[in-house]
Structure 1
Amino acid sequence: MESVSTAVFVFAPLSAVILHELILRRIEVDHLALPILGLAITAYWGLLYYSSFIAALLVTSSFWVPLWLYIGAYRVFFHPLKDYPGPFGAKLSRWWTLKQTWDSSLHYHRVLQRLQSEHGDYVRTGPRELTIFDAAAIQSILGAQSKTSKGPFFDVMEKSLHLNRDKTFHRQRRRIWDNAMKTSLSDYAPQVEKFTDQLLTRLRNEEGESIPLLKYTTYYSYDVMAALAFGKPMGFIKGEQSDVAASILATFTNSVQALGYMYHMPWLMNTIGVLTSFAGPMKQWRDWSVASMKARMALKDAKTDLISHLIANTPADDAGRELLYGESRLIISAGSETTSTALVFIFMHLATHPTYMQAIRAEFLANISTYNCQHSLPLLDAVIHESMRLWPSVFFASQRVTPPQGLDINGHFVPGNMIVQIPLFPLSRDPRNFVEPDTFIPERWTTKPEMVLNKQAFMPFSTGPYNCAGKGLAMMELRSVIGRVVSEFDVKLEEGFSAEKYWGGVMDHFTSGPPNQMVKFMKASK
C-alpha cells in the first residue's frame, strides 16, 4: 500500500508537468473551464470515495500545487513574451487584471494609461497578452490585410456576426449584413425620426423638470434597436413597456458592472453564460428574444428591413435559427448600449460647452429644409466625433491573436498565438496623435485639421474587416437626436455640478459607463 501511495505522489506532479507541456501551453482552454472544473471535482470525489479525506487532499494537492508552480515559473522565465515589460503580477495571471479593475473601481482605462507611462508602448498585461499603445500598430493588428485573428473573448456566449472567430464565416455573414444595411438604411431613416419624435414629445411634456439623462437615452436606443431586430419597439420612450421588457432592461443595466470585471476573463464569461442559460434574468432575456424573433419570422408580407434581409439569407434549419436568435440579441445589446452612452456624452459636452450647443442649433435650423439624418452637417458631425474621441462608447480593446509564425509590428516581433490589443482610450488621449488631447475641441474636425496629428488613431467604430457594421445607423441616430433636440432645447445641469467629478466617474463596463446625471431640458429661444 505504501509503494502505491509513493507512486501516486510521484505520478501526480509528473502528470501536472506533462499536462502543461502537451496541452495547456499549446491550446486555449477558455472554453473548457466547466469541463476542467467538472473533471477536477469528479477526480477529488472519486479519491475521497476510495480513500480517506487526508489521502484525497494530499493526492489532489500533489497535482495542483506543482501544476500552478510550474505554470508560474514558465510564464515568468520561459514564456515567449518574457522579454516584454509589464507588471510582475500580469505575467502570472489575469487575476492581476481583475484586481486592478477592482482597485481602480472599474477605471481600467486609467490603469492602462499608467502602464503606458511606466512601461512604454508595448506592455505585457497578461500571461499571453500584449497591450499596444502605438498607433503605427493599428494596420498590422486590425487592418484589412492583417494576419491576426480574433481572440478568445469572441468565443463567449453564442454565435453571431460579432461573437465568432471563423474568418470565412465572418466574411460571408458580414457581406449579408453590409448589403442589408446598404439597402435598408434609407428605408429605416423615417423609423429613427419617429422615435426621435416620441423622445421630443416626452421632453416637451417634462420641460424644465430634472430627468435622468442616461435612462432617457437608454429608452430611446433600446426602442430603436428592438424595432430594428424584431419589427416593433419595446415601448420605453412612451412609457408603455411590458413587465418583461422592463425586467430585461433592468437585467442589462444591473449587470454592466459585472461585465466590467468578467470581460477580462473569457473563461469566466463562458462559464457564467452556460450556468445562467438554465435560469434567471439571462434566460428570460433569451426566451423573450427567441419568442420575438419567431413572431417576426412568422409575419407574412413583412416590410423590407435589416432583419428581413438576415432572415432571407439564413438557412432555415436549427443552426440558422440559432444564428438569428443570437444576432437579434447582438443587434439590441450591442447597438443600444453604445448609442445610449454616446448620446449621454455628447449632451454632457454640449451642456458644459453651451457655445457649441448654440452653434449646432443655428446650423441645424439653417439647414432644416434639406435635413436628413443620413447626411452630414459639418459642426454637428464634428461635435459627435470629438465626443467619441474623448469618450468612446467601448473601452474594451478588441482582442486579436497573432498568426503561428508570429508578427512583426513596427519593429517589434510578437511570437505566434499571442493576444494583442490596442485600447482606444489611451490612443485617443495620446499627444502624439492629437494636439491638446484631453480638451474638447470640435474644430479639429473642421477648421483646425492640424490638431489631428494621426487621423488613423480615431476609430470609435473600430477599423478593418471587423469594424462596426452598424456605424451608419448609429450616426443616423446621433444626428437625429442631437440635432433635433438641441434645435428646441438647452441642456441645463444642476447647480453645483462638477465636470471633473462627472468625467472622473465614467466607468469601464466593457461599454463605457457614464454616471447617472440629472439634467433639465429647457425650451431654447429660436
Structure 2
Amino acid sequence: MDFNRTGFLFIPSLLAITLHELILRRVEVDHLTLPGVLLSGVLFSVLTLTFGISITVQLYVSFWGTLSIWILLYRAIWHPLRHYPGPFGAKLSKLWSVKQVWTSKWHYHIVQQRLHHEYGDYVRTGPRELTIFDPTAIQAILGYSSVTSKGPFYDNMETSLHVTRDKTFHRQRRRIWDNGMKNSLSTFAPRVEEFTDQLLALLRSDNGKPVPLLLYCIYYSYDVMAKLAFDRPMGFMKGEQTEVASSILSTFTNSLDIMGLFYHIPWFLKATGTLSSFAGPMKEWRDWSVLQMKDRMSRGNKSDFVAHLIDNTPTDAAGMELLFGESRLIISAGTETTSSALTFAMMQLATHPKYMLAVRKEYRDNKQNYHCQRTIPMVDAVIHESMRLWSPVFLPAQRVTPPSGIHINGHFIPGNMIVQMPPFPRFRDPRNFVRPDEFLPERWTTSPELVLDRNAATPFSTGPYNCVGQGLAMMELRSVISRVVDEFDIVLPDGFVAKDYWNGVKDHLTAGPPPGQLVKFVPV
C-alpha cells in the first residue's frame, strides 16, 4: 500500500476518535441506532460508487475498528465510573447483562444479589450504569426531591404518562390522572366486584378440578383493565374473547422474555420497536387499541376515568395519539403486574394455610363492612408481604443523574450516569427486614419490629413516578383474595415442591410466575 493510501485510510480512524470525544461520550444516542444504521448504509453505497468496494471496505474497517477499540479503552480506563467496582465485562458493554439474563435463564434478580454480596452497595453494571443497593439512596434516586430523570429505556415506547421523560409534561399529565383516579375508583369498585363474581362462577364450574392459576389471573386482570380503558372487557372471563383479543394476550405473554433481554440494550429495543410498528403483532395491538378508543369516544361522555382523560386532552392529532398511547398503557401496565401479584399472593396462601384461614376469618367477621376500596388488615398484610418477597416488577426503574452529578452517602456519582435500585435484593436485605426470606404477613400488623426500614419496601415504586394505579390494583387484590378464600381452599397438587416453584419465577419485563402450575379451588 502506498503512502497516500495509508494516509487516506488514517482519516476514518481520526474521525472515529473525534466522533467519540465530541459527541458519543457527551450525548445520549440510544434512540439514533436505526437512523445511524440507515445513514451508514447510504454512505457505504456512495463511497462504493466513488472509490470501489475494496477501498470502501477498508475505510469502514478503519473507522469502525478504531471506534470500537477507542470506546472499549475509554470505558475500561478513562471513564468517570472507573473507580466503582464491578465485573470487568459489565464495564465494557451492557451485552454482559444480556448474557447474564440468558445464562441465568431469566433469573437476573439472583445475579443482582450476587453482585451485591461480591462488590458492595455501589456496583458498576454497565459502561455508564451504577446499580445501587444502599437503602439510604432511595429518596435521592427515586424520591420526590430527587434531581434524577428517567433513563433511555423510556425512549423505546410511545408518548404516555408512564414513559415520557419530560418532567414538566409528566407533572401536568400526572395531575390529570390522579384526579381521574380519585374521582373514579369508588364508582369503579362495583365493576371490580362484578369481575370477581365472574371469577368465582368460573371456579365453581370447575368443581375442584386442577386449574391453571396464572391463566385465570391473567384473564381477570385483562378484563378489568379493558373495562377501565375502553368501557368494555375483553371477554376472557366469560369465554367470549375475540381472536384479536386472544392474539393480543399471546403477544404480551410471549414477548416478556424478549423484553427481559432487551431492557438492558434500549438502543436495540428502540430500533426493533420502530420496525415492528409497521407490521406484526405490535401493529395489530396498536390498531386494535385505536379502534377501541375511537369506539369508546363515539359512545358519548360518561363519568368514568377515561372520560376524564378525554375531557382533559387536546383534540388535535398529538392529543389523539396521547389518548391511544395511554389506553394501551392502562392495559399493558395494569395486567401483567396485577396478574403476577394475584398469582403470587394465592400461592403464598396455598403454601401457608394458616394465613389463608386468618384471611377467611377476618373477611367473615367483617363481611357487613367489607369494601374493596378500604383497608382490610390481614388481607393487606398478605398482599404487602407477598409483593415484598415477589414484587410484580423485578426490573429497576432507570434514572439518569443531572449534569452536575450527585452525592449519595459519601459517594459522588458523575453527571449523565444511569443509576438504578433493583427491588428484589432490597426487599430481601437483612438491613431492611428481619428474616427477610420468610413470608411473615404479621410484620405489617402485629409484629412491626420485623420491619427495620419501612421505606425500603416499594413494590409500587415511590416518588413522582410511583404507580398511579396503586389504588385500583389494591382493590382488585383485596376483592379476589378475600372472596376467593371465603369460598375455597387453595390446594396444591401432590408432590408440589415450593422451592422449585419459586425458583422458577422469571425476571423479565415483569416478574413471571411459572405458567403451568395447576391448583385446586376446593369449596369450603
Query: TM bucket by the smaller chain?
Result: over 0.9
Q: Distance in 2 between matches of 1:144 and 1:157?
A: 24
Q: What does residue range 174-253 of structure 1 map to in structure 2 within 5 Å?
A: 174-253=174-253
Query: Conserved in 2, the CA contact under 8 Å of 1:157 and 1:274?
Result: no
Report what 1:408 is aligned to.
407
Report what 2:433 is aligned to.
434
Deviation at 1:4, TM superposition (A): 5.1
SS of match in other structure, 2:519:
strand
Q: What does residue range 71-90 of structure 1 map to in structure 2 within 5 Å?
A: 71-90=71-90
Query: Conserved in 2, the CA contact under 8 Å of 1:157 and 1:269?
Result: no
Deviation at 1:157, TM superposition (A): 1.8
SS of match in other structure, 1:179:
helix
Report what 1:502 is aligned to.
501
How high is the TM-score relative to the length of structure 1?
A: 0.98
The question of 1:478 aligning with 2:473 is answered no
Deviation at 1:3, TM superposition (A): 5.6
Query: Conserved in 2, the CA contact under 8 Å of 1:395 and 1:423?
Result: yes
Write out per-residue CA displacement over residues 486-520 of structure 1, whole angstroms, 9 at most, x where no aligned residue.
10001111111111110000001120011021111
Write out per-residue CA displacement over residues 230-262 of structure 1, whole angstroms, 9 at most, x where no aligned residue.
010000010000011011111111111111101
Q: Distance in 1 between matches of 2:445 and 2:295?
A: 46
SS of match in other structure, 1:216:
helix
Q: What does residue range 312-327 of structure 1 map to in structure 2 within 5 Å?
A: 312-327=311-326
5+ long unaligned stretches in structure 2: none
The question of 1:375 aligning with 2:374 is answered yes
Report what 2:155 is aligned to.
155
SS of match in other structure, 1:519:
strand
Q: Distance in 2 between matches of 1:278 and 1:146?
A: 38
SS of match in other structure, 2:76:
helix
Q: Which amino acid aligns with 1:98?
A: V
Q: What does residue range 5-20 of structure 1 map to in structure 2 within 5 Å?
A: 5-20=5-20
Q: Distance in 2 between matches of 1:222 and 1:155?
A: 25
Report what 1:128 is aligned to.
128
Q: Which amino acid aligns with 2:190?
A: P
Report what 1:349 is aligned to.
348
Q: Which amino acid aligns with 1:199?
A: L
Report what 1:360 is aligned to.
359
Report what 2:295 is aligned to.
295
Report what 1:445 is aligned to.
444
SS of match in other structure, 2:479:
helix
Q: Distance in 2 between matches of 1:14 and 1:298?
A: 60
Report what 2:119 is aligned to.
119
Write out per-residue CA displacement over residues 133-179 of structure 1, whole angstroms, 9 at most, x where no aligned residue.
01100011111111111111111120100011000000000000000
Identity fraction in percent: 62
Write out per-residue CA displacement over residues 321-374 of structure 1, whole angstroms, 9 at most, x where no aligned residue.
000000000000010010000000001000000111111001001111111000
The question of 1:92 aligning with 2:71 is answered no
Q: CA RMSD for the aligned pairs? A: 1.0
SS of match in other structure, 1:124:
strand
Report what 1:170 is aligned to.
170
SS of match in other structure, 2:115:
helix
Q: Distance in 1 between matches of 2:148 and 2:30?
A: 19
Write out per-residue CA displacement over residues 448-507 of structure 1, whole angstroms, 9 at most, x where no aligned residue.
100000001000000001000000000000000000001000111111111111000000
Q: Which amino acid aligns with 1:64?
A: W
Q: Which amino acid aligns with 1:166?
A: D
Deviation at 1:47, TM superposition (A): 2.8
Q: Distance in 2 between matches of 1:45 and 1:287?
A: 36
Query: Conserved in 2, the CA contact under 8 Å of 1:394 and 1:460?
Result: yes
The question of 1:305 aligning with 2:304 is answered yes
Write out per-residue CA displacement over residues 370-407 of structure 1, whole angstroms, 9 at most, x where no aligned residue.
11000111111000000000000001110111111110
Q: Which moved more, 1:257-266 or 1:130-139?
A: 257-266
Query: Conserved in 2, the CA contact under 8 Å of 1:16 and 1:67?
Result: yes
5+ long unaligned stretches in structure 1: none
Q: Which moved more, 1:260-269 or 1:135-144?
A: 260-269
Q: Which amino acid aligns with 1:144?
A: Y
Q: Distance in 1 between matches of 2:302 and 2:353?
A: 41
Q: Distance in 2 between matches of 1:351 and 1:97?
A: 34
Q: Distance in 2 between matches of 1:217 and 1:2?
A: 71
How high is the TM-score relative to the length of structure 2?
A: 0.99
The question of 1:53 aligning with 2:53 is answered yes
Deviation at 1:27, TM superposition (A): 0.6
Report what 2:458 is aligned to.
459
Deviation at 1:2, TM superposition (A): 4.9
Report what 1:329 is aligned to.
328
Q: Which amino acid aligns with 1:350?
A: L
Write out per-residue CA displacement over residues 395-442 of structure 1, whole angstroms, 9 at most, x where no aligned residue.
111011111111001111100111111000000000000000000000
Q: Distance in 2 between matches of 1:240 and 1:56?
A: 59
Q: Which moved more, 1:384-393 or 1:152-161?
A: 152-161
Q: Distance in 2 between matches of 1:190 and 1:8?
A: 74
Report what 1:391 is aligned to.
390
Query: Conserved in 2, the CA contact under 8 Å of 1:121 and 1:134?
Result: yes
Q: Distance in 1 between matches of 2:413 and 2:374?
A: 42
